[in-house]
Amino acid sequence: MAAAVDFGAPTVDPITGLGAWLSTADHKKVGRIYVAFSLLMALVAFATNALFSLERVDAGGKVLLNASEASQITSLFLDSTVFLAILPLWLGIALVIVPLQVGSRTLAFPRAAAASAWLFILSVLMVVGSYAANGGPAGGRSKYIDLYYIGMFGVVLALIVGVVCVATTALTLRAPGVTIARIPAFSFASVVTAAVLVLTLPVMLGNIVMAFMNHRYGGVFGAEGGTTFDWMFRQPQVYVLAIPVVGFAAEVVPVFARARQRMRGAVRFSIAGVGVLGIGAWAQSSLSIESNIRNGVTFIGVSILIGLPVVVGLGAFGDTLRAGGKPVVSPPLAAGLGAMVLLLAGVGAGLVTGFKGLELVDTTWELGQMKLVIGASSLGAIGALYYWAPKIWGKAISKNIGLAAIGLTVIGTLISAIPDLITGVLDQPTYAIDYAVRNGQELLNGISFAGEAITVLGGLILLLSVLSAMKSNTAVADNPWNGHTLEWATSSPPIATNFGTLPVVVSAEPVLDQSDALASTTSMGA
């Protein structure tokens, strides 16, 4: 039986202020840097998407932007959503939470993680700066196009380094008793996400190198640069954004159902299944001799199979909710279950994409499907921020504000995505702002824009509530949700060494074991 671990007295960082942030190797601070910057970039992502949606309302296009500007805005929306907002947001949360969940006093290679955070910020500034200066992949100023590629290379490299640190921590720095089988679901999902990203983001690096060479040397690889990045934003690769969602849902469902996780193996299968089927680097035209790989048998097979782990995950969560009786309704649970439902809708939409007879490839159907998956990931991330706010910032976010942000994100995502799915059936091209009008497409695009605006509102509310929580002096309990895993065994926010004394770990829910033992002792005493 594993013994309790005493980490000794916490050390005090002698450097304070800005210097402490610049020189930090504390995984909690590094995580906070990622979270703060990605939230800022999420606003850019939401705003650019809303702008793009507004531009589509008029079939002739050119309401606010010309064709070149619209192309830039579309590209900025895609880049900022996936690479500058959602992936780094989940990475930031994982950097804070994973070492706590596995009972480690530190992150593996903390200085590498800190370097990745600063490289990320520098690279994001380069990418956004290049867009602002008419660069970007389809920009008009050559030097700034180069800057864009260099910036994107830096962003992807930073993410790779960050996820390797997280995965290594979960695999090698576990406290005694925290076996691989007992790793909490979110940490397990972080390892799976890291593995998928380590195998796919380098392919993106290869794409960037080729695109850069193509641009520098006069289009030697042809008009598309021999490569495009859009496979990162389409299925199956887009499902990589959903892996942490399943992990997060698996954390909150048992906690708010007041029960231990049922069908743990099924949950693991769900997370790993989404991960394995979400490896999508192969589904790009520049790496295939097939004329359209997205109509191929493999693509259709993966689109269908990905539904299985999602349904299995939902089944396991349903069983846990049933076992616990009446669940406690709270923003994290609402976000976790809402995200799973959005993901299921996204998987359902993706399932029919590849069928040849429907001809949905390269139409807004794919955009709608992507919005559902990205909406699921955003919603999960909002829920995760809300759930782990006591550990990330040592503050609690208001319940009503949390529910409002979550509700607006769900409604906004659905209002934005469903019209896109319908216009896709009507053959509207994916990213075109200038299209032939059929059967009220303009109205549907207008509704889609309204959905984007609602999502932006939800994001703004969350950001303001986080800022407001930062300023509040209200103390938050160490374990406000009666959580089950080790991050709830320390103070809020955690001390420098993360833990004073760790509880004995003999199951996947050590904190629940501890409180059960305490309750049992109390009842025997009575």
Partner 1 sequence: MTATLAIGSGPKAHRPRSLTVATTFISAGVVALVMALMTAYFVSRSAFSGKTKWIPTELHIRQVVLTMQTITLCMSCVTILWAGWAIRRNDRRSTYIALGTTFLLGLAHINALAFLIKQFGVGVASSVPATYLYIFAGLDLVITIGALLYLGAVAVRTLGGNYGGLDAEGIDAATIFWFVSVLIWVAIWALVLVGK
Binding site for partner 1 (CB under 8 A): 108-109, 160, 164-165, 167-169, 171-173, 194-195, 198-203, 205-207, 209-210, 213, 217-218, 220-221, 226-227, 281, 286-289
Q: In terms of CB distance, is 116 or 378 closer to partner 1?
A: 116
Query: Is 82 or 167 the residue whose CB approaches partner 1 more closely?
Result: 167
Written as one letter, the residue type at 86 is I
Q: Which is nearer to partner 1, 105 or 268 (CB)?
A: 105
Cβ distance to partner 1 smaller for residue 36 or 173: 173
Which of 342, 265, 275, 341 has the alpha carbon at shortest distance from 305? 275
Nearest CB to partner 1, comparing residues 164 and 349? 164
Q: Would you list the DSSP string of 82-134?
A: IIIIIHHHHHHHHHHHHHHHTT-SS-SSHHHHHHHHHHHHHHHHHHHHHHHTT
How far is C-alpha 376 from the geometric centre of its chain's CA atoms?
Answer: 9
- Under 8 Å between Cβ of 243 and 271: yes
Nearer to partner 1, 224 or 359 (CB): 224
Compute the distance between CA of residue 481 and CA of residue 332 in angstroms, rounded to an integer: 10
- Nearest approach, Cβ of 206 to partner 1 (angstroms)? 4
Q: How far is the CB of 211 from partner 1 (least distance, A)?
A: 11
**What is the Cα Rg of the chain in Å?**
23
Query: Read out DSSP for 132-170?
Result: HTT-STT-S-HHHHHHHHHHHHHHHHHHHHHHHHHHHHH
User: Smallest distance from the beta carbon of 362 to partner 1, in angstroms?
Assistant: 20
CB of 27 to partner 1, least distance (A): 14
Query: In the numeric block, which tokens belong to residue 312?
Result: 């299995």
Q: Which pair of tokens denotes residue 90?
A: 């989940």
Cis peptide before 110, with omega less than 30 degrees from 0?
no
Measured from the CB of residue 160, what is the shortest distance to partner 1 in angstroms? 6
Q: How far is the CB of 254 from partner 1 (least distance, A)?
A: 29
Please, what is the minimum distance in Å from the beta carbon of residue 324 to partner 1?
36
User: Which residue number, 281 or 337, has a Cβ lying nearer to partner 1?
Assistant: 281
- Do the beta carbons of residue 95 and residue 34 sit within 8 Å? yes
